[in-house]
Structure 1
Amino acid sequence: MELPSGTDNHRTRRWLLTRGAATAAAVAVGSVWAAPSAGAALATVDMELVLVAALVDPPKADTGLTPGCGPHVLPVEQALDAKNYLAASAVDGHYGTSTITAYAAYQQSLGYTGIDANGLPGATSLTSLGANRYTVIHPVRAGSRTESYGGKRVNARTKSMLANADGKVSFSITLTQGSYTSSNPDSAGTHDGGGVVDIGVSSLSTTQRWQLVKALRQVGFAAWLRTPDQGFAYHIHAVAVADPDLSKQAQAQVHDYYFGKNGLASHAADNTPSSYRVPFTWWEKYSRG
């Protein structure tokens, strides 16, 4: 977490595209950044959309843009290019593996290490990178990493999300594993960073389990019911979309969720019944209504 210096995907993709269109003409794809002339308005970078692209884009087999996100990614890549962290040929609005690597190198240059240099923009580094180039709107912060929910460690953002989801169901959410922990090797690194929790469901009916998956998705989690058929005891695995503290493994799970997959090594189809699926979203967008 960088400290501050001061599924119906069609509908969401259409929303993202509309939101990004206003800045699409501000820069040309692949162009070399040049300092704005005196008095010229700076480009606007929506941090939420940059984070969405940073989670959705890297595992793609091509360099296709995530709808609505490209115009916000492009100024970031141009700034990385200007600072010699990213090749000009990779300045394309696609926040792929090259951009992840470049941004991580920039974070390291600021003194960040570990999860703070994971290639996902934090509010502080994104603002620093954009000095005299762009302004940042909709900053996303994980908040304190030492919060607790039901006795399990989470960050402040995740705690707020869980509390809201908890209020949507008639039973209580019980965590079996929190964030920032590598104690369970079966988790394959997904819990090493922030934004990821496992939830016990042994006392819940099948309907209640799916109701909880839906509630978690509504507030911005990529959430799945894990089952014995998948090799797990019944539980819900949830990843907070757009959390800047996500581990590399958890980042890939958000990509799977966006494309209707299960977030496992098989990348099979999501097993969630259609009546419990919701449009792709994240906490800040949900909170704004």
Structure 2
Amino acid sequence: MRIKWAAATSAVTIAVSVIAAIPAQALPAVNMEKVLLAAQIDPRRPDSALTPGAKDHVLVVEQALQAKGFLAAQYVDGHFGTSTTTAYTNLQKSFGWSGIDTNGIPGQTSLERLGEGRFTVTNIVSAGSRISYQGKTINTRTKAMLAAAEARLGRTLTITQGSYNPGGVGASGGTHDGGGALDISVSGMSDTVKVDVVRKLREVGFAAWWRKPSQGPWEHHIHAMAVSDPHQSISAWHQSGDYYLGKNGLANGAADDGPSVTKRTWEEVQRGE
């Protein structure tokens, strides 16, 4: 009897050990970089086309939004369109947030809260902290991007308008209300240099244009938006999406009038992609 009992005990011990060794089912991983790109580009598309590489990640986010009652099943399709943007805004409001924190842009905190028990978040994109630079407020991600562009140019650029400046300049249409926005002086620059500044800003992940008086109520300047900055205002976010779709970022939706570059985010630039 003792032998049988010992054998049974050993069998139970082995069975428990085997079960303990089986890993829990891994949660799906949502790539924040991919979701951010889709959230910028998809709402600006004239159709329901998908942002390359983003579908699976957007689907997981949309499924979580649907499960929480923010998004109808018909919009769970991998396209981060206006319905998904509205759903995400309502999610942010449900946290008790307001202002720029309810811009419908998937930031790290909101994604992680949405994903609790459903998915993990990888490839985190952080705007960083707000700082004062050249007497203007920007964030640390934007400053790092600007420094990289200046290194390529071999010159320092002068900021005439920074970020987080709600209502600061009416002609800007709210693009500077949140993060990632810069206006840069072109004083003393030749036209060739202006174009080169735009090119170098684009090469490090800015959606940038040389703005002219013929385009609006402003003087010559360079307008730049840090693509994928999760602190952007809604109008700035739209400009980033338009840039990826080959437009000029203005209300007329005309074709991009800036130099052609391979479009990359700051995170892709840092990885050498």
- Normalization by structure 1: what TM-score? 0.83
Aligned-residue offset at 1:186: 0.6
Corresponding residue for 1:174? 158
* Residue aligned with 1:263, SS: coil
* Residue aligned with 2:183, SS: strand
Number of corresponding residues: 248
- Aligned residue identity for 2:251: A
Q: Distance in 1 between matches of 2:41 and 2:92?
A: 20
* Residue aligned with 1:279, SS: coil
Answer yes or no: is 1:278 the counterpart of 2:264. no
Q: Distance in 2 between matches of 1:134 and 1:140?
A: 17
Answer yes or no: is 1:236 the counterpart of 2:186. no
- Per-residue CA distance 1:123-172 (angstroms, 9 max, x = gap): 01101111121111111111112x12222110111111111111111221
Superposition map of 1:59-138 within 5 A: 59-138=44-123
- Normalization by structure 2: what TM-score? 0.88
Structure 1 unaligned segments of length 5 or more: list them.
1-37
Structure 2 unaligned segments of length 5 or more: list them.
1-22
Q: Distance in 2 between matches of 1:277 and 1:150?
A: 29
Q: Distance in 2 between matches of 1:58 and 1:229?
A: 28
Post-superposition, which runs of at least 4 consecutive aligned residues in structure 1 deviate over 6 A? none
* Residue aligned with 1:167, SS: helix
Answer yes or no: is 1:260 the counterpart of 2:246. yes
- Compare the two structures and name the one with the higher helix fraction: 2
Greater Rg over alpha carbons, structure:
2
Aligned-residue offset at 1:277: 2.1
How has the CA–CA distance of structure 1 residues 149 and 277 changed in structure 2, closer, same or farther, with 3 Å as cutoff? farther
- Aligned residue identity for 1:234: H
Superposition map of 1:192-203 within 5 A: 192-203=177-188
* Residue aligned with 1:111, SS: coil
- Aligned residue identity for 1:43: P
- Structure with the larger RCO, 1 or 2 (CA within 8 Å, 6+ apart): 1
Q: Distance in 1 between matches of 2:133 and 2:208?
A: 17
- Aligned CA RMSD, in angstroms, stands at 1.2
Q: Distance in 2 between matches of 1:288 and 1:44?
A: 20
Quick one: percent identity of the two aligned structures?
A: 55
